[in-house]
Amino acid sequence: MIGLGAGRLERIVAVGAHCDDIAIGAGGTLLTLCRAHPGLRVDALVLTGGGTEREQEEEAALAAFCPGADLRLTVHKLPDGRLPVHWDEAKRAVEELRAQGDPDLVLAPRTDDAHQDHRGLARLVPTAFRDHLVLGYEIVKWDGDLGRMAAYQPLSPETAEDKVRLLQEHYPSQRHRPWYDREAFLGLARIRGIECHARYAEAFAVTKLTLNLGG
């Protein structure tokens, strides 16, 4: 297995359909990136939950998941579970995010996610971020849509534990869900770690990847 780095990162974009999607799918990666690149600019976009307690949860959570970063979060008010019929508004939000500049990396849902909101957003992202590295994160759920992944970010045991702690601490509205627990999050991270010869990891889907092996 070959490890490829992105070099010096200055700006990344993270998008989610719902408050907590980004943290669940890529929280460990955000912690790793922000700790390694102080002052990193993180532009985060969430399509639903604006004006509710979930927006407040998201603000506190992402601030914790992006230590030392220049975090800029926007939470819209599209209805949960109805993104496909609000396609124009969702596309406009993604395009407005793209207009803010060129990120070095985009974290987004994966295109084969079973949830219609996740999948819809994932399909919008490449229409705006055409020449960028987009990593599609995964979210464990009852649909059973986990599959073979192409890219891995190893997580130190400390980072994996920090991720679980922050998820439990900052999203009290989700604690009642049967899948929202330490065993689920650490269990998936352990499996993905096995797949990349690490203790823990987060895994990502990659639709397109342009190499610069001679640079």
Q: How far is residue 84 from each of residues 34, 37, 116, 121, measured CA to CA in Å?
A: 33, 36, 7, 9
113 dihedral zone (left: phi>0; alpha: psi -120 to 50; beta): beta
Domain of residue 95, residue span: 11-206
Q: Is residue 154 part of a domain?
A: yes
Per-residue pLDDT, 73: 98
pLDDT in tens, the chain (215 residues): 556 566 678 999 999 999 999 999 999 999 999 999 999 999 999 999 999 999 999 999 999 999 999 999 999 999 888 888 889 999 999 999 999 999 999 999 999 999 999 999 999 999 999 989 999 999 999 999 999 999 999 999 999 999 999 999 999 999 999 999 999 999 999 999 999 999 999 999 998 888 877 76
Q: Is residue 2 part of a domain?
A: no
Per-residue pLDDT, 215: 63
How far apart are the C-alpha atoms of 190 and 197, rounded to whole Å?
Answer: 10
Domain total in the chain: 1
